[in-house]
Amino acid sequence: MAPLKGALGRALLRLFAVQGSYNYERMLGVGVGVAEEPLLRDLADGKYRPAVARGAHFFNSHPYLTGLAVGAAARAEHDGAPPDQIERLREALCGPLGSLGDRLVWAGWLPLLSGLTIAAIALGAGWFAVAGFLIVYNIGHVALRWWALNAGWTYGARVSVALHSPMLQKALALLGPAMAFAVGFALPLAARFLAVPFPRWGQLAAVVTAGLVFLALRWRSDRLNGLRMALGLSAVALVVGLIWQ
């Protein structure tokens, strides 16, 4: 079934802002409704508004993969699926899409490229590395958003077929190890890059402190985080520095 002319493109553009009204009550729901609306415009009069209202109900998932739910729900509306079944479909998609997206992007593609970029900067690549990061990252980003929306629209309520795509599975299997290696590789190089201007005792202080902070973060991950540790240590360093004079 062909979507309304231009509707998929419009939905894709709107999906880039799907988290624009992020809130704890409906999470991404309102943004999902806004993105789905162009795909619903050719529904019969009595069906359009209830479908738009359903589209804006609670939704939470990975933003890049949310198009899958948008496409699938819109397709199911066109196929005349009963309302409670569409609600059930949307709810069932939240968790799995969130989990897939987190593993694919937040714990895969993003830290992989970020680690490689840090390593490249540390090895002297300069802003070229950052430009490369933006370009390569976003090729994957936009492709994923487009694939998700299309797959959702194509498969409707049978979206799990799309998720079985061998390419997606292969990407998941490769990204975990690749990310782990890249960030591991980047860390010593980042340490060297940042500590080069320090004299010996400063380098030593940085390494010892890093070890202690790492242990502290592992020990009390419920209370401590990087920001708190960094702020606390900075305050201590400031006080020590001021007394020193």
Partner 1 sequence: MSLALYRIDDRLIHGQVVVGWGQPLHVSFIVLVDDEVSSSDWEQDLYRMGVPPQIEVIFASVDQAAQLFSTWQTDERVGILLVGDIDTAVALAARVPQVRRFNVGGVHHRTGRKERLRFVYLTDDEAAKLRDLAARGVDVTAQDVPTARAVPIGEFT
Partner 2 sequence: MILPIEVLIALLVWGTLVGVDLVSLPQMMIARPLVAGTVAGAILGDIPTGLRLGVVFELLQYDILPVGAVRYPEYGPATVAAVATAHAAPGGEVLGLGLGALVGLVTALVGGVTINGLRRLNSRIVHAAAATLESGDPGALVRVHVGGLLRDGLRAALVTSVGLVLAWLARPLLAGALAVRDGRPALLLAAVVVAAGLAAGAAGTLRLVGTGPNLKWFAAGLGGGLLVAVWLR
Name the residue type at position 177: P
Q: Closest CB to partner 2 among 109 and 153?
A: 109
Nearer to partner 2, 63 or 156 (CB): 63
Q: Quote the least distance from Cβ 244 to partner 2, whole Å.
A: 6
Residue 158 binding target from partner 1, partner 2, none, CB below 5 to 8 Å by type: partner 1
Binding region for partner 1 (CB under 8 A): 24-27, 58, 60-62, 91-103, 106-107, 157-160, 163-164, 172-173, 176, 221-223, 225
The sign of the dihedral angle between the CA atoms of 54, 58, 60, 63 is positive
Which C-beta is closer to partner 1: that of 40 or that of 105?
105
How far apart are the C-alpha atoms of 112 and 198, rounded to whole Å?
28
160, interface contact from partner 2, partner 1, none, CB < 5-8 Å by kind:
partner 1
Q: Please give the residues from 127 up to 166 whose contact with partner 2 meets the rule CB under 8 A.
A: 127, 130, 133-134, 137-138, 141
| Residue 91 binding partner per list partner 1, partner 2, none, with a CB distance cut-off of 5 to 8 Å that depends on partner kind | partner 1
Nearer to partner 2, 159 or 186 (CB): 186
Does 192 help bind partner 2 (rule: CB under 8 A)?
A: yes
> CA geometry: angle at 62 spanning 33 and 43, to 5°?
25
- 106 alpha-carbon distance from chain centroid: 5
Instruction: Name which of 74, 78, 71 is nearest 145 in CA terms.
Output: 71
Question: Binding partner of residue 68 among partner 1, partner 2, none, CB under 5 to 8 Å per kind?
Answer: none
Residue 139's binding partner, choosing from partner 2, partner 1, none, with beta-carbon cut-off 5 to 8 A by kind?
Answer: none
Taking the complex as a whole, the smallest distance from the CB of residue 79 to partner 1 amounts, in Å, to 14
Under the criterion CB under 8 A, does residue 118 sit at the interface with partner 2?
Answer: yes
Assigned token pair, 223: 């209370």
Amino acid sitting at position 92: A
* CA dihedral for 131, 137, 140, 143, sign (positive or negative): negative
3-state helix, strand, coil in the chain (%, to 5): 80, 0, 20
- Which of 85, 88, 160, 198 binds partner 2 (CB under 8 A)? It is 198
Number of H helices, E strands in the chain: 11, 0
74 binds partner 2 (CB under 8 A): no
Q: Return all residues near 90 (Cβ < 8 A) that are at least 6 apart.
A: 54, 57, 59, 69, 73
